[in-house]
Amino acid sequence: MKIVFFESKSYDIDVFEPKLKDTDICYKFYDTRLDEDSAVLAKGADAVCVFVNDVVNRKVIDILSQLGVKIIALRCAGFNNVDYKYASSKGIMVARVPAYSPYAVAEHAMALLMTSTRKIHKAYIRTRDFNFSLQGLTGFDLYGKTVGVIGTGKIGKIFINICKGFGMNVIAYDKFPSEGLDITYKTLDEVYRESDIISFHCPLTEDSLHMFNFGTLGKIKPGAVIINTSRGALIDADALLEGIKTKKIGAACLDVYEEEASYFYEDMSQSIIDDDTLSRLISMPNVIVTSHQAFLTKEALENIATTTIDNINKLYAGEECANIVT
């Protein structure tokens, strides 16, 4: 069997290679993203392994099919970038890693929130220059605040538990509420209206695309903090920027961005960013952006590699795979 890895970084190679080098599996790592131009690199492969910003649309699937690829293995939970129904019609199986480390993502969401509310990032920069002034660093307590959690799957539930540990009041919205959770489910509009902090933990679907938009700005509390560690397109970036500019939104903590594929995971420090919305968001003093790193822990990477290889082996052998996307 031969596997071709796309969009693979040093941390991917470090965790996958030790698990593959003593097997009969042939493998090749490419830094480039999978798209219509790079799909030819999969020639001779039985499986391709892709990540969140790889493009696996119909044209790419047609090329993969012509090259004889039978398996698309996602080393992530989300699969909105893969036309899995079309892949199935072409005889290509798609599998994912549904739960590599929900703790990693939930903890990162809280880290972003605390960094923002207590101005830790600004204090760090100041003290590096031996500026020990407290001017402009006033934050607010999380205790007693109402946090609205949108999406109560594995990650959402862990984030809820973290918030409860801070003594926060938790309300939630989910199209499919979970039983047994000691929280109050409300409508999406109610969550927007009542929350001091709103955190997104849901997948990107046709229904959830731009669920935070210009219309949402009229519903949220003035000064509400927005957190997104899920998928960028849940939030209309232009609406978010408008909310920041008009001070309707008090702060934004983003690990994902709607148009991140052209920038995230790459060193763009010597480049001109032609996405004006992203540039303006990053320039705002009350916006924190991390480059889709919420998943990036040693534990998560180990789980991703183990599960991904297991998925590929099972599908290649014609065995039942619990993580297949159908």
> Model confidence over 56-111: pLDDT tens digits?
999 999 999 999 999 999 999 889 999 999 999 999 999 999 988 899 999 999 99
Name beta bridge partners: 171: 148, 184
> Model confidence over 269-314: pLDDT tens digits?
999 999 999 999 999 999 999 999 999 999 999 999 999 999 999 9
Q: Are residues 26 and 82 in the same domain?
A: yes
CA-CA distance, 142 to 150, in Å (whole number)?
18
Domain assignment present for 325: no
Phi-psi region of 85 (alpha: psi -120 to 50; beta: other; left: phi over 0): alpha
For residue 30, the model assigns a pLDDT of 97
> If you average pLDDT over every residue of the chain, what do you get?
96
326: confidence class by pLDDT, cuts 50, 70, 90: confident
Name beta bridge partners: 287: 252
Percent of the chain with pLDDT over 70: 100
Q: Are residues 59 and 143 in the same domain?
A: no
Residue 210: which domain range? 102-289
Q: Are residues 48 and 137 in the same domain?
A: no
pTM: 0.91
Query: Quick check: helix, strand or coil at residue 146?
Result: strand
Q: Are residues 52 and 188 in the same domain?
A: no
CA-CA distance, 6 to 28, in Å (whole number)?
9
Domain assignment present for 113: yes
CA-CA distance, 173 to 157, in Å (whole number)?
12
> Model confidence over 112-152: pLDDT tens digits?
999 999 999 999 999 999 999 999 999 999 999 999 999 99
DSSP readout, 196-261? Answer: SEEEE-----TTTTTSB-GGGGGTSPTTEEEEE-S-GGGB-HHHHHHHHHTTSEEEEEES--TTGG
Domain assignment present for 323: no
Domain assignment present for 6: yes
Q: Are residues 303 and 192 in the same domain?
A: no
Q: Which parts of the chain fold into alpha helices (H)?
A: 10-20, 58-67, 84-89, 102-117, 120-128, 154-165, 188-194, 237-245, 276-283, 298-316
Q: Are residues 152 and 277 in the same domain?
A: yes
Torsion angle of the four alpha carbons 135, 141, 147, 151, in this order, in degrees rounded to the nearest 10: 70
CATH of the domain at 200: 3.40.50.720
Q: Which residues are catalytic?
A: 231, 260, 292
Q: Are residues 234 and 130 in the same domain?
A: yes
Domain assignment present for 326: no
Q: How many domains does the chain divide into?
A: 2
Give me 204's structure tokens. Answer: 């990107």
For residue 262, the model assigns a pLDDT of 87
10 Å Cβ neighbour count for 194?
18
Q: Are residues 137 and 153 in the same domain?
A: yes
Note whether 293 and 255 are within 8 A (CB). Answer: yes
CA-CA distance, 196 to 96, in Å (whole number)?
34
Q: Are residues 148 and 254 in the same domain?
A: yes
Query: Quick check: helix, strand or coil at residue 111?
Result: helix
Torsion angle of the four alpha carbons 200, 206, 210, 216, in this order, in degrees rounded to the nearest 10: -80
Q: Are residues 140 and 284 in the same domain?
A: yes
Q: Are residues 221 and 265 in the same domain?
A: yes
